[in-house]
Structure 1
Amino acid sequence: MQANISSALKWLHLNLDRAGAWVAPLSLRVFLAWEFLEAGLEKWNGENWFQSIQAAFPFPFNYVPATLNWQLSMWAELLCSIALLVGLGTRLSALILIAVTVVATAAVHWPADWSTLSELAQGYSISNKGYGNYKLPLIYLVALLPLLFTGAGKLSLDALIERCVKRR
């Protein structure tokens, strides 16, 4: 009985590992592509509001014209989200989206005034109560890290290109 349970657990572990090599990075890529594509399309169809927050951008973006910042952000979100979705240039796309997210967090989502960790912790929310709202950008940053460090996974154009290059 104990041997059956042990072998069943080994089988489960092995198959979860195999599936995880495909499913885990793909699910992260789809989740992040959806989010960043939506943000890019919102900028594409919307009006530039970066001028009102230009001073809040971290260096060197606070010296870049607001229109250029808007374009850089929009195109990064649009192109990198599509690249993530198909798994092409995944590590570079993740790095670019990390930079976009850090700038957005510093400019828009981080609490403007806080003096204690308790006040800072109030910004870890999805609200607009004056304490910031950096919870979602932090989730995106954490979700981008595995793609940056381990790549797109087996179900990606990156993996297909790698397999084709190794065959030569």
Structure 2
Amino acid sequence: MNQYSRKFHWYRWLRIVFLFLAGLLIVLNPNKSLNGILYLIAAYLVFLGIIALRDGWLLAKNNSDNNSPFATATISFILAILIFPVAHILLPLLPLILGIILLINGVNQFFNARVNRKYVNITPWPDYIYSLLLIIVGVVLIFNPFGMLQLFFRILGIGLMILAILEFINTRLYH
């Protein structure tokens, strides 16, 4: 496994853990999960920043001029600090923002699965299911009436846990 594969592998495992824990937290207690999810997002951003710092250090050690990992780390740490004050301002927009992000990720995942199908001799059905779930959850959150937020939080939580499981399966299939 080369340096870039290991880096991608760490990001993938971080995403799996984040998705599963966020989903579990939302399913278990959707009414009081906001602060827990904010802590989880802040922790995710801190770990992302640490991984990016490590990548930047490795690149600097190899005399690379690539400073993007250091920029990623700085942005991640700043966002981790700002997540609590900004989250309460953006809370009313949370379903819409999260829905748009999931919808975009779902469409990207679908097209990535189609592109990977050309180069990998493995059926990309887990990727198609993963992208379909992302799209469905994204659309539901975009058109979510705020009175039904608890129900949709539970659906989101279950969806996030399923996405984490599918991401884990994809990690095993492709790596």
**Same-fold call, TM cutoff 0.5:** no
TM normalised by structure 1 equals 0.32
Which protein shows a greater Rg? 1
Task: Choose between structure 1 and 2: higher helix proportion.
Answer: 2
**Greater relative CO (CA pairs within 8 A, separation 6+):** 2
